[in-house]
Each structure stands twice: as structure tokens, then as C-alpha cells.
Amino acid sequence: MYVITELSGDIALLIPVKIKDEVISLLVEPFDDEAEAKQFWQEYGNTFCILLSDDNDKGILATLSEQEQLHYA
């Protein structure tokens, strides 16, 4: 599982480039451009989780903080 909390170059370090480009494209789609999307993410504190086929409940819970677990419960 990948947890993304901001739209930045750090995403490239976490996931393959092809997937990163597709994810960024989808996340930017509702906005005029990537800069506007980044500003929104900074202002509203978004979290985006990418689940992998081998993820399970215990692994997901171990990745998320207690606060995040309560938020998504």
C-alpha cells in the first residue's frame, strides 16, 4: 500500500513512473492544472491510498497511523 499525502516529486520514489503519471493525471483532472491541485492538497490535507493486490487488513492498519485509522473507520 502506498499512502500519498501531498502531490510532490516524492510520489516518484514510491511507485513506478507509469503508475505515478496515471495517478497524477487522475488527481489533477478536476482542476485547471497541477499547481491548482497541489494548492488544494496543501490547504485541505488530503490522503490518497493506493492498495496493492497483496495488501491485507493487518498490513494496511500497520501502515496507517492511529489517527488515520480513526478517520477512515
Per-residue pLDDT of the chain (73 residues; tens, 9 = 90+): 777 777 776 665 667 778 878 888 888 999 999 899 989 988 987 878 777 777 777 766 676 666 566 566 5
Domains of the chain: total? 1
Which residues form the domain of 59? 2-72
Strand segments (E) across 1-73: 2-4, 48-50
Predicted pLDDT of residue 36: 93
Spatial contact of 8 and 35, defined as CB atoms under 8 Å apart: no
Collapsed DSSP state (helix, strand, coil) of residue 49:
strand
Three cell numbers at 47? 490522503
Predicted pLDDT of residue 68: 66
CA atoms within 13 A on the CB side of 21: 3
Collapsed DSSP state (helix, strand, coil) of residue 50:
strand
Predicted pLDDT of residue 61: 64
Total-model pTM:
0.59
